[in-house]
Amino acid sequence: MVGRRLISILAVPAIFGACEIARTDNTVARAGDTAPTTPGITRLAAPADSEIPDGALGASIRRGRALLAATPDSLPHNVGGQLRCTSCHLDDGTRVNAAPLVGVYARFPQFRDRSNSVAIIEDRVNDCFQRSMNGRALAYDSRDMRDIVAWLAFLSRGTPVHKDTTPRGIPLLAALTPDTSAGRAQFATTCAACHGMDGQGTPAGPPLWGPKSFNIGASMARLRTAASFIKYNMPNDRPGTLTAQQAFDLAAYVNSHARPDLAGKEDDWPRGDAPGDVPYSTRGRTAGP
């Protein structure tokens, strides 16, 4: 059942425009752009709403976009916390260095080290539901999955299959030794206004630890991933202003707190090649220094 939050988002006017290259001038790529910009943010071009077809396909694309923007409200049986897809895939999945979704559809199927298997895009979507949103997988043949994939496919319109024509993921910072105490102090001055001093979130920002946050199997539970995301994207109104050391200190502080577990996490990276910052033991590697 689609919640009221989803219905309201379906009525949002066009936010992106048609252009086929990444913008590097910190502006939003859209026709007749008059939207305010934020220094330090680069967004990828996305197809204009005018390119969404009429009929059932267009309705599916629009609903998929809305599901990503209002995931807990619209899919409460599949989301275990208060994060939504766009909590990490910022600016509707168009922000560079924030795991952009533009071009993602064209990169699947792909081999995944964590599962030691070839994944289709539906597998990747469910990874986010089960890990980043601490929830339950969508049925592969469900309307919800089809609509999300339809939106991802639309975002990747014009992207060559299996070619690196758009930025991907979050560039990893070189590893630094974090100071959790410094991270605690930095959190109070930089992060608490949006995420709360207790890290449980506010209307301005999602919870960063505790039962409503991402679980231990999520990529953000890894030190380097979290530090890199923080460095490039936080604070939200001044991204890029923190040093790499401050980002590592904050990531260590955030990830020092308890968060939900993930059943079956010991089966990750079955070849024994888990990255060193994975915070749990697998069958092939014991966590820790």
Inside any domain, residue 123: yes
Inside any domain, residue 161: no
- Can you give the residue range of the structural domain that contains 108? 4-155
Inside any domain, residue 160: no
Torsion of CA 95, 100, 101, 105, to 10 degrees: 140
Do residues 127 and 270 share a domain? no
The predicted model scores a pTM of 0.86
Tens-digit pLDDT profile for residues 2-47: 343 343 333 332 222 222 223 333 333 332 233 346 777 999 999 9
Per-residue pLDDT, averaged over 251-280, amounts to: 97
Name the band, by pLDDT with cuts 50, 70 and 90, for residue 285.
Answer: confident
Tens-digit pLDDT profile for residues 112-142: 999 999 999 999 999 999 999 999 999 999 9
Tens-digit pLDDT profile for residues 69-112: 999 999 999 999 999 999 999 999 999 999 999 999 999 999 99
Do residues 133 and 9 share a domain? yes
Inside any domain, residue 164: no
Do residues 111 and 236 share a domain? no
Tens-digit pLDDT profile for residues 155-188: 999 888 888 677 889 999 999 999 999 999 999 9
Do residues 141 and 31 share a domain? yes
Name the band, by pLDDT with cuts 50, 70 and 90, for residue 268.
Answer: very high
Inside any domain, residue 234: yes
Between 289 and 48, the higher pLDDT residue: 48
Provide the CATH number for the domain around residue 8: 1.10.760.10
Do residues 118 and 10 share a domain? yes
Residues contacting residue 44 through CB under 8 Å, at least 6 positions apart: 22, 23, 29, 94, 95, 96, 100, 102, 103, 166, 167
Do residues 9 and 147 share a domain? yes
Structure confidence at residue 37 (pLDDT): 61
CA distance 206 to 155: 25
How many structural domains comprise the chain?
2
